[in-house]
Amino acid sequence: MPDIDRTISTLASGQHGVFSRRQALDLGLSSKVLHTRVRSGALVALSAEVLAIAGAPATDARQARAAVLDVRGPAALSHRSAAAFWGLPGLSLRPLEVTAVRPNRTADTRLARVHTTTCLPDAHVTHVDGLLVTVPVRTLFDLAGHLHPGRVARLVDSAWRMRLVTGQLLRRTLAELAERGRPGIQLMRELIEQRGDGYRPTDSNLEGRFEAIMASTGITSFERQVDVGGIDWAGRVDFIDRTLALVVEIDSDTFHLSLTDRADDEIRRLALEAAGFIVVRVRQFDVWHRPDIACDVVRDGRRRAQARIARSRHD
- Please give the tally of structural domains in the chain: 3
Residues 30 and 150 in one domain: no
- Decide which of 150, 173, 195 is a domain's last residue: 195
Pairwise CA distance, residues 263 & 88, whole Å: 24
Residue pair 286/248 in contact (Cβ under 8 Å)? The answer is: no
Per-residue pLDDT in tens (0 to 9) along the chain, 315 residues? 468 778 888 877 878 888 878 888 888 888 888 888 888 888 888 888 888 888 878 888 889 998 998 887 889 999 999 999 998 988 999 999 999 987 655 577 888 899 988 888 999 999 887 788 999 999 999 999 999 998 999 899 889 888 899 999 999 999 999 876 688 999 999 999 988 887 777 556 788 788 889 988 999 899 888 877 544 444 678 899 999 999 999 887 655 444 555 666 677 788 888 888 999 999 888 988 889 999 999 999 999 999 999 998 886
| Maximum pairwise Cα distance, the chain | 80
Residues 218 and 96 in one domain: no
Which element (helix H / strand E) includes 287? helix 284-289
Residues 165 and 190 in one domain: yes
In this predicted structure, what is the pLDDT of residue 36?
85
Residues 270 and 215 in one domain: yes
Residues 179 and 211 in one domain: no
In this predicted structure, what is the pLDDT of residue 262?
62
CATH number at 51 reads 1.10.10
CATH number at 250 reads 3.40.960.10
Classify residue 89: in a domain, yes or no.
Answer: yes
Residues 248 and 288 in one domain: yes
Classify residue 235: in a domain, yes or no.
Answer: yes
- Decide which of 146, 173, 195 is a domain's last residue: 195
Classify residue 212: in a domain, yes or no.
Answer: yes
3-class SS string, 73-140: CCEEECHHHHHHHCCCCCCCCCCCEEEEECCCCCCCCCCCEEEEECCCCHHHEEEECCEEEECHHHHH
Residues 100 and 83 in one domain: yes
Residues 175 and 75 in one domain: yes
Pairwise CA distance, residues 55 & 72, whole Å: 25
Residues 173 and 260 in one domain: no
- Decide which of 142, 177, 195 is a domain's last residue: 195
Q: Which domain holds residue 13?
A: 3-57
Q: What is the pLDDT of residues 184-242, one digit of tens each?
A: 999 999 999 988 887 777 556 788 788 889 988 999 899 888 877 544 444 678 899 99
Residue pair 185/141 in contact (Cβ under 8 Å)? The answer is: yes
In this predicted structure, what is the pLDDT of residue 79?
96
Pairwise CA distance, residues 144 & 153, whole Å: 9
Question: For the chain, first and last CA: distance in Å?
Answer: 70
Residues 70 and 43 in one domain: no
Residues 307 and 230 in one domain: yes
Which element (helix H / strand E) includes 202? none
Residues 177 and 79 in one domain: yes
Within 13 Å of residue 256, how many CA atoms lie on the same side as its CB? 18
In this predicted structure, what is the pLDDT of residue 61?
87
The pTM for the full model equals 0.63
Classify residue 200: in a domain, yes or no.
Answer: no
